[in-house]
Amino acid sequence: MHTAKLGSRINGVCMKKRTMWLTAIFFLSSAFLAQAEGGQANLPEVPTKGMVTMLDLGAKKCIPCKMMAPILQKMEKDYKGKAAIIFIDVSKHRDQGRKFGIWAIPTQIFFDKNGKEVYRHFGFMSEQAIVAQLKKMGVDQDKSDAPKETNAHRGSN
């Protein structure tokens, strides 16, 4: 009976060590995968050198962030070559949240051409508010897609 207890005790110790090793491997591989997924290689340079930059820090699962996604896509198109409009998903790139000192999402940070932060906003930001802020910073929207006014609809006097 004494040998049976000793055998089960040895098996129990081996099982604990095996479990400990498997847990360590799991955490290390998870950390590696998270780093590979959210690594710096995928991210654009922020702020963009020599260009006004609007950075939106959010997450794809955040409701106000989802509401802003089509606005940001439109802004990126409208300001192409004039201002950099950048979105970073902080659920995938947690280090970026710390880097930019955010405490709520979405957070929009505006940088001037020299890379200096000039304005910060927390929460949903409307297209009109973004346009107004960029205009304050000297960047006008690209109006090439906007309908042009014609004289055809004006009454003659």
Instruction: Give the active site residue among 52, 55, 57, 65.
Output: 65
How far is 157 from 149, CA to CA, in rounded Å? 19
How far is 117 from 107, CA to CA, in rounded Å? 13
- Is the CB of residue 113 less than 8 Å from the CB of residue 140? no
For 56-95, b/e burial (b = at least 16 CB within 10 A) is bbbbeebeebeebeebbeebeebbeeebbbbbbbbeebee
Instruction: Give the active site residue among 43, 46, 51, 62.
Output: 62
Residue 65 a catalytic site member: yes
Catalytic residue numbers, as ranges: 62, 65
